[in-house]
Amino acid sequence: MIGRILTGRELNLILRLFLGGMFVYAAWSKVLEPSSFAMAVRGYKLIPFSLSNLFALCVSWTELVAGVMLILGILPRKAAAAIAILLVMFIIAIITTLVRGMVVDCGCFGNEGGSSTSWLLIVRNVGLLFGAYLIMAYNDGFLCVFPGRRVAPVRAVESRRLSEY
């Protein structure tokens, strides 16, 4: 039952709009003000100083493009994968700050949030990551502009696999 809800197209559509909306919102102020997001990036002290601007640009634009693709349903599974990669990066980055005992402006929503890194952020990001996984694995192109080709005919296989749980 739970498996059917998780893999169902209704939840998938909701997840797509939610994740997409969230990432477009998060990307907006970063894209408009890359220098202020680059400051947040430097705060993590993880990547070389000289590359912080470039990194900030790449991350914010990926958020924006992948978010728009999710909302419109353009290659939604691949867009969700791009977001999942970002989320894994964010989770690792936040864990390193906590392990190093640093208090860092997370930079999550540009300069509007102002929240510091915390374990709660990791929990949130893991939750978002699970949502992105559900889109990657189960999106069937429902209400998508361009769903793209699936690699394997999964629907039947996947639902059987889930019912075995």
CB of 164 to another protein, least distance (A): 15
Binding residue for another protein, selected from 78, 96, 118, 141, defined by CB under 8 A: 78
The one-character DSSP state at 152 is S
Using CB under 8 A as the criterion, what x/- string covers residues 96-115 for binding another protein?
-------xxx-x--xx--x-
For tokens 């039952």, name the residue. Answer: 1
For tokens 């000289």, name the residue. Answer: 50
Nearest partner of 101 among 87, 122, 116, 121, judged by Cα:
116
Site residues for another protein, 119-158, by CB under 8 A, read: 133, 136-137, 148, 150-152, 154
For tokens 């197209």, name the residue. Answer: 9
Distance set, CA 117 to CA 98, 101, 103, 134, 165 (Å):
7, 10, 7, 26, 36
Using CB under 8 A as the criterion, what x/- string covers residues 18-57 for binding another protein?
-------------x--xxxxxxx-xx-----xxxxxx-xx
CA distance 66 to 106: 20
Binding residue for another protein, selected from 85, 95, 122, 162, defined by CB under 8 A: 85
Please tell me the count of residues contacting another protein according to CB under 8 A: 53
CB of 72 to another protein, least distance (A): 13
